[in-house]
Amino acid sequence: MPTTTTAVMSATATPLVVPTTVPEAGFTWCGSDCAPDGFIDQFPVGWQASALSGVTGFQFVNLQQPDQVAVFKRLDNPTGTADQLLATEIQAVYASKPGYEAPQPPTGQTATIGGETWSTTAIAYMNNQTKEHVTICATVHQGKTFVLEFQAPDAQFAQVSTAYYNIMIGKFQFTQTGTP
């Protein structure tokens, strides 16, 4: 049976109502911590959740294999379409990495996450001697840009996606971000 948790951000902020259900086996909620950023989701037990530096959002890292990472960002005041924002994110974060492989095709792929249509693509780059696969998703929801990034070694990406990322994508929910 679902329960409701209220997270109060500050004395002047609107309280957030965060619905929670029992998480999938082996997962836990990033509920009241993530809700002020505009989403809630489940992440694997044993992974470290931490707020991002310099941007609104959270990063989830597998402590046993630190190149298994999920990043959830919210950017205010979008300046383009989801495809344009996806291209900007790739250019800003990945294009200068060693061995960067541009997405093929660069745009046009979509997925439904949290009830919204997201533009998606995948890129690759080299991290030391390991080829890393990154799937990046972007959407504009209620005047804010949301970007999700899922990374794992290329040779393990399908397995990691099945075990973790597909569950995270399936449980992603938008929340109201509260206004002062």
Residue 96's CATH number: 3.40.1000.10
Over residues 108-126, the pLDDT tens digits come to: 799 999 999 999 999 999 9
**Average pLDDT for 12-41:** 79
* Residue 29 belongs to a domain: no
* Residue 157 belongs to a domain: yes
How many domains does the chain contain in total?
A: 1
Containing structural domain, residue 146: 46-172
Over residues 34-89, the pLDDT tens digits come to: 999 999 999 999 999 999 999 999 999 999 999 999 999 998 877 788 899 999 99
Q: Are 52 and 88 in contact (CB under 8 A)?
A: no
* Residue 13 belongs to a domain: no
| Contacts of residue 47, Cβ cutoff 8 Å, sequence gap at least 6 | 60, 61, 62, 63
Over residues 147-170, the pLDDT tens digits come to: 999 999 999 999 999 999 999 999
Of 141, 140, 138, 132, the closest CA to residue 160 belongs to 132
